[in-house]
Amino acid sequence: MDQRRIRYPTAPLTNTKKLEHAMSAKLLDGKGISKEIQKETKVKVEQFIADHGESPVLAAVLVGDDPASQVYVRNKERACARAGIESQLHRLPATSTTEDILAKVVELNEDSQVNGILVQLPLPDQADSRVILDAIDPQKDVDAFHPHNVGLISQGRPQFLPCTPHGIVQMLKRCGIETTGKSVCVIGRSDIVGKPMAMMLGQKDSDLGPEMANATVTLCHSRTQNLASITQQADILIAAIGRPNFVTPDMIKPGAVVVDVGINRTEQGLVGDVDFDSGKEVAGFITPVPGGVGPLTVTMLLENTLMAAIIQIKSIA
Ligand code: NAD
């Protein structure tokens, strides 16, 4: 065994000053990287419009008036406009049933002008999200939640990549952080972030090259025993839990890359799943909240909408 690799503490530390390798992490600037990718997407969209005479179209379905969902949808509309992608907003009342929402999804599936469909989550309790997401045409499934697309991802031949995990891989790549051979710990096993993230990084290859796959991945969750003993060994730690400041410095391997997916609204404002102020003293690289993973999620949605338009043009050619 390479003794030089055993740098993480073997017992939880409560005081980061005790760490021999204490340092201040470099910030992974998700916001800046998003801007860079959005510029590239804009150029590709302009080429698509020049070639086909029409813009890609994204249709968002917003059910009810959840304030956070309204903000997310507005951000997506603005980002579409910046990239030259046309966006449609289909609002349905909070009292909508599964059938009401399904009817809208079917209408959008059949509309040849619409390339991408997203149903903003969460849906009201009476609506069955699974049934609704399963009804989206897999070729228009820009969130990559449909079982057909999840199956393709698990086989390592994705049609669309889910936006948040894809954004994270893009960020790592653009910051020169390779995943091949690395020990990665993902905390959280949601279908939206944790599970696809673990699948993508554990694959043999990726669209961004084998150096952005081939990790040894441990997927942790609420029933994981001795969580800190696992996270302490991770070269790359990805937190997608939804609990403010859950990851404390003693859980981080000194010098590790820490990616914070969490968005938690607290009295202190928006905070992530990682205790940023103390975590940055141990990590080598860290994403801030806000301004880290969030902007990348929206950005990859634009890429997926363009991809959907290209796939649909090819399938009718
Ligand atoms: P989720 O809310 O569906 O599930 C949370 C996961 O955390 C579960 O798998 C659970 O097993 C795990 N978990 C809960 N308590 C735990 C514990 N004590 N120890 C270990 N694991 C535990 O997850 P989600 O939808 O992936 O959301 C997670 C967070 O990420 C939320 O804050 C959400 O708002 C945020 N999010 C951000 C973005 C973005 O673009 N930045 C995108 C999606 C989600």
Write the pLDDT tens digit of every residue in 252-309.
999 999 999 999 999 989 999 999 999 999 999 999 999 999 999 999 999 999 999 9
Q: Which residues contact 43 (CB under 8 A, 6 or more apart)?
A: none
Q: Predicted confidence band at 23 (pLDDT cuts at 50, 70, 90)?
A: low
Q: Establish how many alpha carbons lie within 13 A of residue 65's alpha carbon, considering only the half-sphere containing its beta carbon.
A: 1
Q: Is 76 assigned a catalytic role?
A: yes
Do residues 173 and 212 touch, judged by C-beta distance below 8 A?
yes
User: Of the residues 241, 247, 259, which should be mutated to test ligand 1's pocket, given the most ligand atoms within 8 Å of the CB?
Assistant: 241
Q: Which residues contact 141 (CB under 8 A, 6 or more apart)?
A: 117, 148, 149, 160, 308
User: Of the residues 197, 218, 222, 289, which should be mutated to test ligand 1's pocket, given the most ligand atoms within 8 Å of the CB?
Assistant: 222
Q: Which residues contact 110 (CB under 8 A, 6 or more apart)?
A: none
| pLDDT tens-digit readout, 98-154 | 999 999 999 999 999 999 999 999 999 999 999 999 999 999 999 999 999 999 999
CB count, 10 Å around CB of 33? 21
| pLDDT tens-digit readout, 36-86 | 999 999 999 999 999 999 999 999 999 999 999 999 999 999 999 999 999
Residue nearest to atom 39 of ligand 1 (CA): 294
Kind and range of the H or E run holding 91: strand 86-92
Q: Which candidate, 102, 113, 110, 158, places its Cα nearest to that of 135?
A: 102
pLDDT at 11 over 90: no
In the chain, the amino acid numbered 140 is: K
Q: Which candidate, 314, 235, 228, places its Cα nearest to that of 2?
A: 235
| Residue 228: Cβ-neighbour burial (10 angstroms; 0-12, 13-18, 19+) | middle
Q: Establish how many alpha carbons lie within 13 A of residue 116's alpha carbon, considering only the half-sphere containing its beta carbon.
A: 30
Query: pTM to 2 decimals?
Result: 0.92
Look over the chain and give the mean of its residue pLDDT values, rounded to a whole number.
Answer: 93
Place of tokens 């891989």: 169
Rounded to whole angstroms, the Cα distance separating 73 from 77 reads: 6
Kind and range of the H or E run holding 83: helix 67-83
Residue nearest to atom 40 of ligand 1 (CA): 294
Do residues 41 and 306 touch, judged by C-beta distance below 8 A?
yes
Which atom of ligand 1 lies closest to the CA of 187? 21
Angle of CA points 41, 137, 46, to nearest 5°: 20
Q: Which pair of tokens denotes residue 198?
A: 């673990």
CB count, 10 Å around CB of 282? 27
Rounded to whole angstroms, the Cα distance separating 192 from 90 reads: 22
In the chain, the amino acid numbered 49 is: I
Catalytic residue among 29, 137, 143, 273: 143
Give the residues surrounding ligand 1 with Cβ less than 6 Å away. 164, 187-190, 192-194, 220-222, 224, 227, 240-243, 261-264, 293-294, 297
Which SS3 state, helix, strand or coil, does residue 136 take? coil
Which residues are 260's β-sheet partners? 239
Angstrom CA distances, 209 to 110, 160, 172, stand at 35, 16, 12
- Report CA 315 to chain centroid distance, whole Å: 27
Q: Is 38 assigned a catalytic role?
A: no
